[in-house]
Structure 1
Amino acid sequence: MTYLIQHAPYHLTDGAWLRGVPQGPMSATSAKLFAIYIDEMGNGDISQNHCNVYLGVLESLGLKVPSIFSREFVDQQSIFEVSFKKPLLPLTTSLFPTTYEPEILGYTLWLETTSPAQHAGLRRILERYNLSSKFSLLHTTIDNNTNGHGRYARDAVTMYLNQIMETQGEQAVQEHWKRIWTGYVKLYFHLQLNVEVNFMNEKSVARFHVKY
């Protein structure tokens, strides 16, 4: 349950890293990213919106979660400060979708290709303790690397680099690939935060460090 609570700030902003993708005439690359984004949003069905699904999981555990837009959400004593830092990198770069397009592609590649394996393990743990695994089941299905978001992400990167090759040449491809890889690796390190909890005098003290 601690895992689910501490990941609330991150999972309740699921999909927001792609909020800057064009929603009108778009390139083939943007079309792949938009396909991921619209799935994250629930494809018009608010009950399938990934953030709402996660909120439902928390509520099924008897947890009352304030609106993510409220000050009460930020002030929750049960959520450590480090947990609010997890969504910062993808959320801030999403404000500049053109400037950071290669990095956003890198984020997407890491998130979508590693998600099925991560959620498969979490799903087994949740089911073992008779907890709702709906959020993890959703991701192991929709993020698959054969014909799901993992495939979309790989296709988006390939299309992007092909376009750079056609318009700018090999050297530019190497430069843009470096930025994509930076986004991929940066998000990995950003999310690998360990939270160690010590209970002292009925108060919890969170200490964290980044794995390198």
Structure 2
Amino acid sequence: MSEKLGNGDLAKNHVWVYCDLIRNIEAGPPSANSEEFIDPRHELNEARCWKAVMAQLLISLFPHDFLTGALGFNMAYESLPLPLLKTVKELRELRLNPYYFELHNSIDNANVGHAAMVMAAVANYIEVAP
């Protein structure tokens, strides 16, 4: 978690770095914690996205009831997909800052990074699960 927060360095905080990328490409979405974010003109009406958000919210509110779900979500988010490596290359070609994706390539690696940690957590859970 501390790495996701940039270990106290705002310039390495993942949310800050991602928002900086969005600002630099002038995508300009409204802040997710603003009322404007849910305005119908933005067409944020994909049911599958809202279901995923609600699932994550419920897991975070009731972690003991949804531990297996939390482990599954964490494994999915911390495992590096191949498109992430391609994204870095493509952003560089477009002269856009790929730092957000480079952070994940280094921090979420399956050898010693977050992906390795979550795989170990799942293996430990499987060993003690009833």
Please state how far the C-alpha of 1:44 moved relative to its aligned partner.
2.3
Are 1:117 and 1:140, in contact at CA under 8 Å, matched by a contact in 2?
no
Larger Rg computed on CA atoms? 1
- Root-mean-square deviation over aligned CA pairs: 2.2
Alignment partner for residue 58 of structure 2, among 87, 92, 100? 92
Q: Which structure has the highest helix share of the two?
A: 2
Please state how far the C-alpha of 1:96 moved relative to its aligned partner.
0.8
Alignment partner for residue 4 of structure 2, among 40, 53, 71? 40
Cα distance in 2, alignment partners of residues 160 and 81 from structure 1: 36
Cα distance in 1, alignment partners of residues 6 and 74 from structure 2: 18
Runs (5+) with no aligned partner, structure 2: none
Q: What is the one-letter code of the residue matched to 1:154? A: M
The residue aligned with 1:50 is: 14
Judge which range, 136-145 or 123-132, deviates more. Answer: 123-132
Q: TM-score, normalised by structure 1?
A: 0.53
Matches within 5 A, 1:1-212: 37-75=1-39, 77-78=41-42, 80-82=44-46, 84-85=49-50, 86-113=52-79, 115-164=80-129, 172=130
Considering Cα pairs closer than 8 Å and 6+ residues apart, tell me whether 1 or 2 has the greater RCO.
Answer: 1
| Structure 1 counterpart SS, 2:111 | coil
| Structure 1 counterpart SS, 2:2 | helix
Q: Deviations over 1:59-87 (max 9, x none)?
A: 11124343321102222734532285243
Q: What is the one-letter code of the residue matched to 2:99? A: K
Runs (5+) with no aligned partner, structure 1: 1-36, 165-171, 173-212
Are 1:144 and 1:151, in contact at CA under 8 Å, matched by a contact in 2?
yes
Cα distance in 1, alignment partners of residues 109 and 82 from structure 2: 9
Please state how far the C-alpha of 1:162 moved relative to its aligned partner.
2.6
Cα distance in 1, alignment partners of residues 96 and 43 from structure 2: 20
Q: TM-score, normalised by structure 2?
A: 0.82
**In the comparison of the two structures, how many residue pairs are matched?**
128
Q: What is the one-letter code of the residue matched to 1:153? A: V
Cα distance in 2, alignment partners of residues 122 and 80 from structure 1: 24
Are 1:47 and 1:53, in contact at CA under 8 Å, matched by a contact in 2?
yes
Cα distance in 2, alignment partners of residues 144 and 116 from structure 1: 10
